[in-house]
Chains A and B, each alone.
Chain A
């Protein structure tokens, strides 16, 4: 008869199996994990995490039981010389019923909290909630605060502890708006608006990124949400709504504004009072953002210079062309942009 019997050597290998779990646990205890779903910071994310935790432990229970039975069976019933042909058992009706009902019952324990959470998290925020419109573009995020008259991009500010109603759509292909610490993802479908409602419960910065493959730079379509204290949020709103005073005559920023105003930038970008392009992000207050290019790079002179000079080399497929602005003109324009707080 072909095949060797199940020898003792493999037994120790079974003890290897917890190792990946141990390794993972070790890794998980590190770092800040800015996009972690396991560290919720809103009611929406918290409800999901709570539900997932309960399902997870049911899964662990089933895993231990069933894998345990399997491992036991293959060890206990190994072929040994002289073992007779086993009794041919064809089935057992009571057992079939039992192991059909038991999983079904466990599933009820999963289904009921699931349905509750589905409906609890699907509702709209109260009418007094802060409304934000998210519009996904290839490969950046546009935000509009309709009640506040604010238009910005990539970095969203929210007040802590207040209900927020986010409506999500796309200007081109399907994207997905996802800030894991603040909640589950919701697709940005062109021609439709999806809505999520949540309340962020801690001040802080939360990372997110597009979670539906949307083309060449899907990996580069990142975003930040800054949850501010009430006063900080109000200050941000004031800055966003304030008209930028023109830069002092003769300053480098004034020269930068002139460079901007006569370059192709105005075809795509809006800067209040200077340009009205709508293809790319609104830059009216770009100086106040921590990152550029949809969360890709820090907002500093070096990265601004590289980005303006050759965006396609940094973000494959981007619609932003290489800008023929260099030297003193470029430095001036960067200074101008950084002054737009």
Chain B
């Protein structure tokens, strides 16, 4: 890409495109880590009474698999696209707060590193083992997470790492809300926004409202573990259920945070490759907004076995079933987009169609979960693990891959190999269904989740073996993708501005875009500016060079510097050295001061 080179330019970058690429590579690396954790889990479960890993390590593996995939892979991969693509789609030169954007990335990186350092930190804590990774599950129920029942540093790494990651997400949330609302090109009315940008906006509102709740839950846990508070201790009159309520009040909006961006990507890819506008754009947008709101009213459907009582169970059952309606509506609108189109089967399209196919299954198993009595046989078993992976792998990850194949040429100036892409898709599709479909039955046959081994007489041994084979097939498929990325980064066919015939603004500029994005900020007069429609001809692309030099802000050291204070602060409770807390706060405050008073031209 144009612009300065070298490590320093990457460390100090405030350019949304570079930050998007940083998010992509970092998140993809964590995705591979989470995938490796999954393969170890599946290797252990391939047979009953497996001996691949110990019980302690297994409990750390499933905890870190969930935590890594959700917070370090799926959310940041979505963020890679928020960063790179949203400013382009709205006709802006960058996000509203470029340095805050960089800060979000560095905090994410540091948080992810802190969390994963626990795999090797055992000796520092005299644990008698190498790995002291979090081991109480990705939703860490109290009171198992109290010091009494989890004495080691494992849960401490978890609660500190997640709080750091929360700061990253919140900062990005504020940034993107303002960017989308305030930095749109002239004529880019809200109802002309590309659907991906709309879903990003809804997602960011969910982030800034849901993350404070989990922050409070984690702060309470931190105070219980470090300062002797009693927020979750039954002996003091408290209830561990408080954790569950707070967690799921965050947790349910979180799953919409995970799925809406991928739904946005599907809503971009299908029209482009059907050569037809998105069917029911208004409905698709409003259903996304509605899902955002309704997602706040369903949280206790994660708690049907807790014993909340029939009235509470019924209310949450009803709200959960209701939310299936706007979700289903999107699926129908997507099918209607394809219907009557002329569909080009690019890899991006394969993943987008695959998303719909897999999400239907995940959504239907979700409807079965919405019925509390049925759910009492499904929750906490492999049935819900199947549901999770159909919606998050078949849903979010398929959507993200669609986005990668769609936008990679724009981001790097190279086309990915379509041949390898098809191989990647089919291996992933087959692997995914082999891995996760049997889990529905495994759960219904009585295998709970989060168990490091299972009895041979349960009758789920061969199903587990099939599932393991599927998981390894996914691993192979992912390697194919990595090969594709690697080979095309230097040898891939150069990408034109618009390899696909897209309708939205990002296709109007070079691949990759110049540092200022648009030589002239376009004026937009429709939802599909680059297509010829019944109402207008295609908008002319901006000229190759700007009429006058465009000022581009330089980089800054202060975002990464301020970000560094956070893991230093987190080390204080981990190591019981209070001075680290002061140092961490001092670094962050100093970084913020220098950032605030940095001259605008750098």
Contact = CB atoms under 8 A, between A and B. Distances in A.
Interface string B313-346: 1100110011011001101110110111111111
A95 B455 CA distance: 51
Contacts of B335: 66, 69-70, 73
B346 A3 contact: yes
B499 interface: yes
Contact of A31 (B234, B281, B438, B459): B459
Interface string B33-61: 00000000000000000000011100100
Contacts of B409: 2
A45 B446 CA distance: 13
Interface string A97-124: 0011001100100110011011101100
B509 interface: no
Contacts of B376: 48, 183-186
B279 to A, nearest CB: 6
Contacts of B277: 88-90
Contact of B313 (A13, A27, A118): A118
A79 interface: yes
A6 B500 CA distance: 15
A311 interface: no
A86 B141 contact: no
A77 B446 contact: no
Given A174-B141, A191-B234, A219-B451, 5 more contacts: A1-B500, A78-B345, A86-B276, A186-B307, A189-B240
A121 to B, nearest CB: 6
Interface stretch (A49-57, A150-158, A254-262, A280-288): A49-57
A10 B374 CA distance: 37
A90 B340 contact: no
B11 interface: no
A6 B329 contact: no
Interface string B340-384: 111111111100010011001100110110111111111111000
A1 to B, nearest CB: 6
Given A27-B463, A33-B446, A189 B307 contact: yes
Interface of A: 1-7, 10, 13, 16-17, 20-21, 23-24, 27-28, 30-38, 45, 47-49, 51-52, 55-56, 59, 62-63, 66-67, 69-70, 73-74, 77-80, 83-92, 95-96, 99-100, 103-104, 107, 110-111, 114-115, 117-119, 121-122, 138, 172-174, 176, 178, 180, 183-187, 189-192, 194-195, 207-219, 222, 316-317
A210 B340 contact: no
Nearest to B419: A4
B434 interface: yes
Contacts of A219: 55, 450-454
B162 interface: no
Nearest to A78: B343
B278 to A, nearest CB: 8
Interface of B: 54-56, 59, 136-137, 141, 143-144, 149-150, 234-235, 239-241, 273-277, 279-283, 305-307, 309-310, 313-314, 317-318, 321-322, 324-325, 328-329, 331-333, 335-336, 338-349, 353, 356-357, 360-361, 364-365, 367-368, 370-381, 409, 415, 418, 422, 426, 430, 433-434, 437-438, 441, 444-455, 457-459, 462-463, 466, 499-501, 533-534
Nearest to A184: B376
B144 A90 contact: no
Given A91-B279, A118-B372, A219-B454, A66 B360 contact: yes
Given A35-B458, A316-B54, A86 B342 contact: yes
Given A7-B345, A37-B377, A99 B332 contact: yes
Contact of A6 (B282, B345, B499): B345
Contacts of B338: 70, 73-74, 77
B423 to A, nearest CB: 12
B437 A215 contact: no
19 contacts: A6-B345, A10-B426, A17-B433, A24-B438, A34-B459, A52-B368, A73-B343, A84-B342, A89-B277, A96-B280, A110-B367, A115-B317, A180-B446, A186-B307, A187-B305, A211-B379, A212-B380, A219-B55, A219-B453
A176 B144 contact: no
B394 to A, nearest CB: 13
Given A48-B377, A89-B279, A2 B415 contact: yes
B343 A74 contact: yes
Contacts of B373: 47-48, 51-52, 114, 117-118, 121, 184
A55 B370 CA distance: 10
A48 B379 CA distance: 13
Given A16-B430, A24-B463, A118 B325 contact: no
A316 B144 contact: no
A217 B340 CA distance: 56
B184 to A, nearest CB: 21
Contacts, number: 328
Given A27-B462, A192-B307, A85 B144 contact: no
A50 to B, nearest CB: 9
Nearest to B452: A219
B364 A213 contact: no
A3 B421 CA distance: 10
B446 A35 contact: yes
Given A24-B463, A114-B317, A107 B325 contact: yes
Contacts of A174: 141, 143-144, 240
A179 B370 CA distance: 21
A4 B305 contact: no
A3 B418 CA distance: 6
Q: For the complex of A and B, list the 3 residue pairs with the smallest distance between their C-beta atoms, beginning with the closest.
A: A184-B376, A35-B446, A6-B345
A104 B277 CA distance: 27
A107 B446 contact: no
B446 A215 contact: no
B299 to A, nearest CB: 16
Contacts of B59: 213, 216, 218
Contacts of B446: 33-37, 180, 207-209
Contacts of B136: 213
B309 A3 contact: no
B240 A213 contact: no
Given A37-B377, A73-B339, A218 B450 contact: yes
B126 to A, nearest CB: 18
A122 B380 CA distance: 20
A91 B282 contact: yes
A35 B447 contact: yes
A66 B239 CA distance: 44
A2 B462 contact: no
Contacts of A91: 279-283
B437 A24 contact: yes
Given A90-B281, A91-B282, A63 B364 contact: yes
A96 B285 CA distance: 13
Nearest to B364: A59
Contact of B458 (A34, A117, A186): A34
B276 A89 contact: yes
**Residue from the set B239, B276, B365 with the largest chain A CB neighbour count within 10 Å:** B276
Nearest to A315: B55
B306 A173 contact: no
Given A115-B314, A178-B448, A1 B501 contact: yes
Nearest to B150: A215
A106 B110 CA distance: 47
Nearest to A58: B367
Nearest to B495: A2
Contacts of B273: 3
A6 B426 CA distance: 13
A187 B378 CA distance: 13
